[in-house]
């Protein structure tokens, strides 16, 4: 009965969110000005704020050859730009972008050239995503320059990271926030991430989701958790798909599962593994919400554009994926290995962090009578890392080709062990009689 009630609640949430997504995009496309967006993008191009290069040099010297990825943003800028003649529902369902394949420089080069020539037209279908970032990007670009949009995004990004750090501190104690936050700025691209609006929105939502989950765990009445918590996590996954370009999807479910397990440890071994099962179940529900929203987008496209268009798009996507796998030579766990080994500094930090965490846990096990509970709890808190590996390997070609941002998720392999060890050090888990 509980399972049926949960499934019904998730189905209702998915249906309601699907309606909200369509309505939000319809309002966005109806009320924003393409002319104003083009004018602000043109100003950005003339001021070299918008570079014709899809991978301009980073001023912060981060990984990935000191470059940052503007490819995603330039595709996003071109989605549904100056194509009002196609009709509102078609624009939402097909989500066409400017035909960047016509230019060897990619979407940024094409967009800059098209804006300067006054001939921008979104004519290349990109129906496989919701492109929900339009609801954020288009209104802002209608009223302010691109540089100001980046500043607003950077402020939101940093505010969410502060909220996330606050929740980390409440769960794991003082200084734990540094363990969780610093690696993303020191070893990844979080200095330049706010410059890429379409990617930073997805990162904002991932860290906000984890922080909100921690707040719900702390404040929701115990009786409400049986239904409210799973449906809430399901909805978080669906909203993530609305915003997503497949940028670090496993970050949020892995953090959600880790936060739940860390917050509910205690008791005997059986209870510990029940906690793990529930935490991983929440991660699975997040992924289910993500998948449900994605299926809704394909169904919307089939209803508006016809099933043949969707079948063609799916066939082409599978063909492109298979070609990428063959070109990249992706083998078993190959995508994970490539991301972990992309740089000696990156891999070295993860290796040192795991070693330090294991050393602390070994010391705790040696000095405490409840060493079995400590070791079991540490292993339990590591299980959410499997979410990252499973996602990356399930999407191995994309994960291998886009290591510059996929690798952000692998920093959890350093952060989670350290946080788990800190938790056990601060609050030892004591075994209870079965």
SS (H, E, C) 143-174: HCCHHHHHHHHHHHHHHHHHHHHHHHHHHHCC
Tell me what pLDDT residue 433 has.
35
Please tell me the number of Cα atoms within 13 Å of 26 on its side-chain side: 10
- Maximum Cα interatomic distance, the chain, rounded to a whole number of Å: 76
Nearest C-alpha neighbor of 354 from the set 288, 278, 416: 416
**CA–CA distance, 387 with 7 (Å, rounded to integer):** 22
Neighbouring residues of 79: CB distance < 8 A, sequence distance ≥ 6: 95, 96, 97, 122, 126, 131, 134
Q: Where are the alpha helices (DSSP H) in 173-263?
A: 176-186, 197-219, 222-243, 251-263
Neighbouring residues of 223: CB distance < 8 A, sequence distance ≥ 6: none
Nearest C-alpha neighbor of 133 from the set 35, 51, 32, 215: 32
Residue 326: its H or E element = helix 307-328
**CA–CA distance, 380 with 378 (Å, rounded to integer):** 5
In this structure, is the dihedral angle defined by the CA atoms of residues 19, 22, 26 and 27, taken in order, positive or negative?
A: positive
Nearest C-alpha neighbor of 148 from the set 137, 159, 158: 137
**CA–CA distance, 370 with 341 (Å, rounded to integer):** 36
In terms of Cβ atoms closer than 10 Å to its own Cβ (0-12, 13-18, 19+), residue 174 is exposed
**CA–CA distance, 118 with 123 (Å, rounded to integer):** 15
Using the 8-state DSSP alphabet, how is residue 131 labeled? -
pLDDT tens digits in sequence order for the chain, 434 residues long: 688 888 999 999 999 999 999 999 999 999 999 999 999 999 998 888 888 877 665 555 444 444 567 888 989 999 999 888 888 999 999 999 986 665 566 888 888 888 888 888 888 889 989 999 999 999 999 999 999 999 999 999 999 999 999 999 998 988 899 999 999 998 888 888 888 899 999 999 999 999 999 998 888 777 767 788 999 999 999 999 999 888 899 999 999 999 999 998 877 788 899 999 999 999 999 999 999 999 999 999 999 999 999 999 889 888 877 777 777 777 778 889 988 988 899 999 999 999 999 999 999 888 877 778 888 999 999 999 999 999 999 988 888 888 888 999 999 999 999 999 999 998 755 443 33
Neighbouring residues of 73: CB distance < 8 A, sequence distance ≥ 6: 196, 197, 198, 199
Concatenated DSSP letters of 362-374:
HHHHHH-TTHHHH
pLDDT tens digits for range 112-165: 888 888 888 888 889 989 999 999 999 999 999 999 999 999 999 999 999 999
**CA–CA distance, 116 with 46 (Å, rounded to integer):** 9
**CA–CA distance, 261 with 172 (Å, rounded to integer):** 12
Tell me what pLDDT residue 65 has.
46
Whole-prediction pTM: 0.92
Neighbouring residues of 161: CB distance < 8 A, sequence distance ≥ 6: 181, 184, 190, 207
Contact 419, 180 (CB under 8 A): yes
- From the CB of residue 123, how many other CB atoms can be counted at a distance below 10 Å? 15
Neighbouring residues of 5: CB distance < 8 A, sequence distance ≥ 6: 227
């Amino acid at each position: 009965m509980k399972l049926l009630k949960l499934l019904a609640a998730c189905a209702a949430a998915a249906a309601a969110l699907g309606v909200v997504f369509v309505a939000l995009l319809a309002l966005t496309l109806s009320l924003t000005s393409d002319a104003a967006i083009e004018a602000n993008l043109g100003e950005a191009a003339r001021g070299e704020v918008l570079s014709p290069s899809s991978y301009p040099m980073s001023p912060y010297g981060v990984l990935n050859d000191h470059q940052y990825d503007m490819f995603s943003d330039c595709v996003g800028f071109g989605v549904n730009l100056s194509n009002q003649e196609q009709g509102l529902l078609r624009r939402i369902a097909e989500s066409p972008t400017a035909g960047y394949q016509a230019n060897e420089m990619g979407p940024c080069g094409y967009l800059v050239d098209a804006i300067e020539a006054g001939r921008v037209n979104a004519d290349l279908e990109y129906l496989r995503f919701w492109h929900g970032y339009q609801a954020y990007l288009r209104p802002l670009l209608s009223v302010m320059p691109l540089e100001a949009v980046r500043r607003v995004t950077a402020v939101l990004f940093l505010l969410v990271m502060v909220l996330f750090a606050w929740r980390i501190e409440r769960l794991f104690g003082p200084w734990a926030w540094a363990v969780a936050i610093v690696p993303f700025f020191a070893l990844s691209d979080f200095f330049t991430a706010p410059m890429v609006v379409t990617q930073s929105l997805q990162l904002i939502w991932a860290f906000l989701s984890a922080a909100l989950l921690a707040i719900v765990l702390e404040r929701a009445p115990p009786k409400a958790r049986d239904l409210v918590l799973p449906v809430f996590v399901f909805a978080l996954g669906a909203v993530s798909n609305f915003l997503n370009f497949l940028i670090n999807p496993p970050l949020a479910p892995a953090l959600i599962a880790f936060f739940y397990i860390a917050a509910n440890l205690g008791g005997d071994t059986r209870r510990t593994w029940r906690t793990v099962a529930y935490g991983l179940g929440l991660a699975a529900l997040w992924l289910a919400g993500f998948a449900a929203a994605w299926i809704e987008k394909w169904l919307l496209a089939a209803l508006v554009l016809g099933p043949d268009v969707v079948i063609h798009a799916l066939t082409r996507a599978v063909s492109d994926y298979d070609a990428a796998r063959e070109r990249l030579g992706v083998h078993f766990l190959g995508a994970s290995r490539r991301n972990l080994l992309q740089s000696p500094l990156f891999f070295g930090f993860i290796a040192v962090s795991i070693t330090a965490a294991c050393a602390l846990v070994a010391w705790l096990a040696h000095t405490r009578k409840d060493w079995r509970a400590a070791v079991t709890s540490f292993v339990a808190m590591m299980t959410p890392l499997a979410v990252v590996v499973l996602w990356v390997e399930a999407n191995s070609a994309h994960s291998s080709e886009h290591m510059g941002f996929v690798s952000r998720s692998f920093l959890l392999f350093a952060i989670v062990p350290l946080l788990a060890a800190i938790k056990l050090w601060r609050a030892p888990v004591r075994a209870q009689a079965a």
